Chains A and B, each alone.
Chain A
Amino acid sequence: MGRKKRYFAVVEFFLIVLVCLVCLFPIVWIVLISVKPVTESMMGISAIIPKGFTLENYKRVLKLIPNLPVNFFNNVFVSLVGTVSTLFFCSLAGFAFAKYEFPGRNFLYLFLLATMMIPQETGVIPLFIIFRKMGLVNSLWGLIIPRLATAVGIFYMTEYMRDVPYEIMEAARMDGCSEFMIYARIVCPIIKPGLASWAMLTMIARWNDFFWPLILLRNSKKYTLMVAISLLPASDGLSTPWPTIMAGVSIAVFPVLIAYIIIQRFQVVNVAAGAVKG
């Protein structure tokens, strides 16, 4: 029995190491290549071994994409404003679905869930034309407004809010608290973990968003980071050196990666996953 257990532990250890390696390898690769002088060999395994160290590649990316700082700011703007606004509208709707009785509530909630099955992207062509009419093409608001209140977000918020006790709300109502104040001052603080976890996930998704920025933003000053770096391989003919591309990639990946590592000790993502229990 003892030997079997030890054997099991060894296999487990190797599996864990393997999982960590597979997960971290491409990220480490980005860093290693992005600080490599262009003159060094990029052939296969030899590319990993660090010899020289240079920040030249980062300078070159800035030269290749002169609007990169603007693009970076666009990404920050879309992610922050998008996350805060969607959090507000989703939690407000979730509050109504979870804590109010009103005619048609169950039907409307089911309807909302059913809309998740309709892929929004299939209406992309008329949507683009609507955006053009509304002046939302080439505007960062075009990435924010249509997603102010999403079905998934409302679903998560509703599920979190179900556990908030009615008694607290009733007590506040007795004290003359308005309905919006009950939401803002009483319910939101209680579901803070839920809000934080949904905020983190939305932030990741918005930061990494590619398809909508690609079709909506048609001016290099308006690009988000993802659109800007997607053009990197072709921007210098066919010969953009790999280290330069990796420098661009690291600018796109690391801000959100670092934000996640700082915030994750609050176990934020686990809270979101906990809402899905069939």
Chain B
Amino acid sequence: MVGSNKIRKWIKKYKTPYLFISPFFILFLLFQLVPMVQSFYYSFTEFDGMHTPEFTGLKNYRNLFKTGNYAFWDSLENTVIYWMVCSFFIIVFAFGVALLLNREKLKGKAFIKTAAFLPYVCASIAIALVFNMLFDHNSGLINDILSRLGFEKIGWLTTSKFARIPVIILFCWRSIPWYSIIILSGLLSIPADYYEAATIDGGNVIQKFFYITVPLMRNVLFFCLITTTGDTWKMFNESYILKGPAYSNATLFQYMYENAFKLFDLGYAAAIGYILAMVMMAISAAQFIFRRKQGNND
């Protein structure tokens, strides 16, 4: 009986924290782990959502990677471009905005800070509809300005060559505010004495930036890179509304959505989902390993 007494005591001692954290783990099991395992099985089957899945081995994956499968290769290429281009612009511009907002003597700081955050508050769907109007071939503002300046009108969303540009601009426009706030809070945590010491030693603004600001901001910037990676690989809303010709600006995620919920080829869509998950996890892991190696060199 001593044993059961001990167990009872143990339960009494620890039940509260376990109870408090249990909702997350139950939801994770039910809505994340189970679907992931099921999805893995579906990716090897032919499944329309109604009948029982029929096991077809690697067929979905073979079809996916077939050289003639332009829809897949195009959306993969687009996603990689969005990932690289958007991450780059978001971090560079967010850093710039954060540096501007970090100036002590800035007049109207409260107003500027509010204004600069508003894009993040707007729904991407809503602003995508605005962009549809701005980038319209005939009557859009962008083309109107271009033609007034003597350039030719560009078929932003009607030619596959340019269709990615509005998507990239929209995604960056909406993301930069959030990242600039994160970077700004990092900048504010750098002790002012560091800069004072550098000033006494005769360091100029540029030297201070590269020898104090950037090294101390490494962790924050790394966090930003990890999150922009996740966000861009899951991009959907922007290219869903700003539709270009065929798959000229579609993302991989969108390709999965269309196969699952428009064509009801759920097995094939599950395979796309798995490829997407694998790539995302591989990129995150690579970034962490790279970061750790760098950390050792410091």
Contacts and interface: CB of A to CB of B under 8 A. Distances in A.
Contacts of B125: 208, 210, 226, 229-230, 252
A92 B260 CA distance: 36
A122 B137 CA distance: 35
Interface stretch (B65-73, B78-86, B158-166, B232-240): B232-240
Contacts of B16: 96, 100, 179
B31 A278 contact: no
B251 to A, nearest CB: 11
A245 interface: yes
A45 B142 CA distance: 9
Interface stretch (A55-63, A65-73, A125-133, A188-196): A125-133
Given A42-B139, A233-B129, A270-B181, A154 B234 contact: no
Contacts of A22: 173
B120 to A, nearest CB: 7
A230 B27 CA distance: 30
Which secondary structure dominates chain A's binding surface?
Answer: helix
A29 B134 contact: yes
A125 B122 contact: no
A127 B37 CA distance: 11
Contacts of B120: 204
B34 A274 contact: no
Contact of A257 (B122, B145, B220): B122
Contacts of A148: 23, 27
Interface residues of A, number: 87
B223 interface: yes
B222 A278 contact: yes
Interface in A35-62: 42-45, 47-48
Nearest to B254: A211
Contacts of B220: 276-278
A256 B121 CA distance: 7
Interface in B96-121: 96-97, 100, 103, 106, 110, 112, 114-121
B39 interface: yes
Contacts of B236: 210-211
Interface string A110-138: 00100101111111111111100000000
A41 to B, nearest CB: 8
Nearest to B110: A265
B130 A211 contact: no
A249 interface: yes
B261 interface: yes
Contact of B223 (A93, A122, A269, A276): A276
B186 interface: yes
Given A33-B133, A123-B38, A102 B17 contact: yes
A174 interface: no
Given A29-B134, A125-B42, A44 B100 contact: no
Given A146-B27, A211-B237, A270 B277 contact: no
Q: Which 5 A-B pairs have the closest CB atoms?
A: A44-B144, A278-B219, A123-B35, A126-B38, A96-B20
Given A122-B36, A273-B181, A277-B220, 18 more contacts: A12-B103, A15-B96, A15-B100, A23-B118, A26-B131, A27-B122, A93-B23, A100-B20, A108-B21, A112-B24, A122-B276, A123-B36, A125-B269, A130-B30, A210-B123, A246-B133, A260-B121, A278-B223
28 contacts: A19-B115, A19-B116, A23-B177, A26-B127, A89-B24, A93-B23, A102-B17, A105-B17, A118-B32, A118-B36, A121-B234, A123-B32, A123-B36, A123-B38, A125-B35, A125-B39, A146-B31, A150-B24, A154-B24, A204-B121, A215-B261, A226-B123, A226-B126, A233-B129, A252-B123, A256-B123, A260-B121, A277-B189
Interface of A: 12, 15-16, 19-20, 22-24, 26-27, 29-30, 33, 42-45, 47-48, 89, 92-93, 95-97, 100, 102-103, 105, 108, 112, 115, 117-130, 145-151, 154, 179, 183, 204, 207-208, 210-211, 215, 226, 229-230, 232-233, 242, 245-246, 248-249, 252-253, 256-257, 260-261, 264-265, 269-270, 273-274, 276-278
